[in-house]
Amino acid sequence: MATLKRPQPRFDVLKIPVIGPLLRWRWGRLVFQTILLLIAVLLLYDGFTGPQFAPENLSTVVTWIHYRGIIVFGFLLLGNIFCMGCPFTIPRTLAKRLAINGGRWPAFLRNKWLAIGLLFGFFWAYEYFDLFASPLLTVWIIAGYFVASFFLEAIFSESVFCKYVCPLGTFNFVSSTVSPVQISVESRDVCSTCPGKECINGTTQMGTVDRPVKQGQGTISLDSIQVLGCGTELFAPQIESNLDCTMCLDCVRACPHENVILSVRNPLKETSEGAWPQRWDISILVLVFAFSALGNAFGMVGPVFELEAALANGLNVQDEALPLLIIFGVTNLILPIGLGLLAAWLSRAIANRTESLRITLARFVPSLAPLAFSIWLAHYGGFHFLGSAATVFPVFRNFMWDHNWFFLGPPDWTRAAVLPINWLDPLEMVTILIGLLASLYVLNERGKRAPNKRDGMLVQLPWMLILVGLTLASFWIFYLPMEMRGVAFTG
C-alpha cells in the first residue's frame, strides 16, 4: 500500500527560548542594529580622530579583522547575520518613512550586474588604496555606506541599496546560499488564503483599523503594528534561496498569522536542490565570487608584486592603478567568466543538449559556491580572524588609555592570535578540502537534476577541473608567505 510522503518537520530557530522571542519582537532587529550602530560610531570616531596608524586604530582593526571574520563564521553557523543587524539600514528605515511615494529602481538595473561591478571595484579599491592600512579611508567608506543607503532608500520605494547596490550585501547574499538557516513558512495553505500578504506588503499598507488580527497571545489591530514588509520583495512561501534575503525578519514580524519561520536546513540544500535562478547575472556573480576569493588572497603575496612591476614596466606607468586593474580584471572577471562559459559549453556539448548556454551554466555554477565560501572562510576566518582577533584587546585598552581611562590597565601588545599560529595552515587546508568535497557533492546532485537524463561524470568533468584548479591555486597562494603591499609602488 502506497504511503503519502510527508515533509519532515523543520526546526524553527524562532522557537528557541529567549532567542526566538527576541528575534520576533517588533524592536528585535533594532537591538542588533543599535549595537552595531554604536560600534560603527566608535569606529568613525577613532578613524577620524585617532592615530592614523592602522595597527592601533579601532576602525582598521575591527573592520578588516573582526567584521570580515565574524561574518564568515556567521554564515557557517547561522546565516546572514550582518545584514540582519546592518547599521546602515537604520537611517534607511527613516528614509523609507520620509519617502513614502518613492519611485521604482530602473528596470535595466534590476539585476546583479551593478552589484558585480561594485564588488569588483571594492576589491580593487581595497588593494589600490591600501584600505587595510588607512583608518581614515576605512571610516570614509563606512560613512559613505550610511549616506548611500539613506539617499537610495529616500529616493526609491524598495530596498534598492541592499538588493542591487551594496557590495557587502552582494558578498553576504552569495555566502548565505550555503548557510544552515532560511526563511520559510509553517503552512503554505495559510499563505494562499492570506488576504493581506503582510510579509511582503508590510502592515502599514494593508491594515484596517476595524480588522483585528491575532498577534501572540493578545489581539491588536494591524494598523498599530506598522512593520515594513520585505524590503527586497521576497514572498515568504516562495523563498527557496537566501539570495536577496537580508534576514531582517520583517516578514516574521509582519505576518499576522505567525506563519513565517526561520528554518534549519542542510547547508547544501539550496545549491544542490534549490530552484537556482537561471539568470546570467546570478551565474556570473557566483563565478566572480569564487574567483575573487583567490584574487583577493593573491593580492597579498609576493608574485603579484612582481607581476605588477612587470606590467608597470611594460605599460610604462608609475601608478599601481592600471597594473592592478589588469591583474584583477583577469583573475576576478575574465578568468571566471571565460572558464565558466567554456565549462558550460563543454558540458552541453558532451551531454549533446540543445539548451541555452545560460541554462547549462545555471545548472552547474551553484557547485562553486561551497568551495568559494570555504576559501573565503579560510582567508578571512582562518588566517585573519583566528590569527589576529585578540589584537582588539590591546588596541581597545590603548584607546581607553589614550582617553585617560586607566581602569583596564595598559595594553598588552603580545596578544594577537586566537589559536596557535602553526595550527592555521592545516586548518585552512582542511577547510578548503571540505569545501571541495561539498562542491563535488553539489556538482553531482546538480547533474542528477538535468532534464531527461542525468548529466554524468563526463559532463561534470569541466566543472571538476575548475573546482580542483581553484583548490590547488588556493593551496599555492595560502602557502606563500604573506607580503604586505608597500605604501609606495615601485613599478
Partner 1 sequence: MMKKIYLLSACLICAFLLAACGGRNSANSGSSGLDIQIDAGSTSVGTTDLMITVKDTDGNPINDATVDIKGDMSHAGMQPVLGESSASNGEGMYMIPYEWTMAGDWFVTVNVTLADGTVGSERFDFNGISGEMSDMEDMDMEDSEMNHGDMEMEEATE
Q: List contacts with partner 1 (CB under 8 A).
A: 27, 30, 34, 37-38, 41-42, 44-46, 48-57, 60-61, 64-65, 90, 94, 130, 132-133, 302, 384, 387-388, 391, 395, 398-399, 401-404, 413-417, 481-488, 490
CB closer to partner 1 out of 418 and 433: 418
CB closer to partner 1 out of 52 and 444: 52
Look up cell 563564521; give the residue: 73
Handedness of CA 40, 246, 65, 296 (dihedral sign): negative
CB closer to partner 1 out of 41 and 310: 41
Shortest Cβ distance from residue 133 to partner 1 (Å)? 4
Shortest Cβ distance from residue 483 to partner 1 (Å)? 4
Shortest Cβ distance from residue 32 to partner 1 (Å)? 12
CB closer to partner 1 out of 96 and 257: 96
Phi-psi group of 233: left, alpha or beta (phi > 0 → left; psi -120 to 50 → alpha; rest → beta): left
Shortest Cβ distance from residue 365 to partner 1 (Å)? 33
Residues 90 and 37: beta-carbon distance below 8 Å: yes
CB closer to partner 1 out of 122 and 401: 401
Shortest Cβ distance from residue 22 to partner 1 (Å)? 15
Phi, psi of 233 (to 5 degrees): 60, 45
C-alpha neighbours within 13 Å on the C-beta side of residue 35 = 9
CB closer to partner 1 out of 45 and 113: 45
Shortest Cβ distance from residue 71 to partner 1 (Å)? 16
- Apex 39 CA angle, 38 and 40, nearest 5: 90
CB closer to partner 1 out of 39 and 317: 39
The grid coordinates listed for 387 are 590569527
Shortest Cβ distance from residue 303 to partner 1 (Å)? 10
Nearest Cα neighbor of 437 from 265, 272, 242 is 272
Shortest Cβ distance from residue 391 to partner 1 (Å)? 6
Handedness of CA 399, 404, 408, 413 (dihedral sign): positive
Nearest Cα neighbor of 63 from 111, 122, 148, 150 is 122
Whole-number Å distance between alpha carbons of 145 and 180 = 28
Residues 272 and 441: beta-carbon distance below 8 Å: yes
The grid coordinates listed for 94 are 527613516
Listed in sequence order, the DSSP H helices in 112-239 are 113-128, 135-155, 160, 167-175, 188-192, 198-201, 203-206
Shortest Cβ distance from residue 210 to partner 1 (Å)? 25
CB closer to partner 1 out of 55 and 121: 55
Structure letter (DSSP) for residue 6: P
CB closer to partner 1 out of 97 and 104: 97
Residues 96 and 228: beta-carbon distance below 8 Å: yes
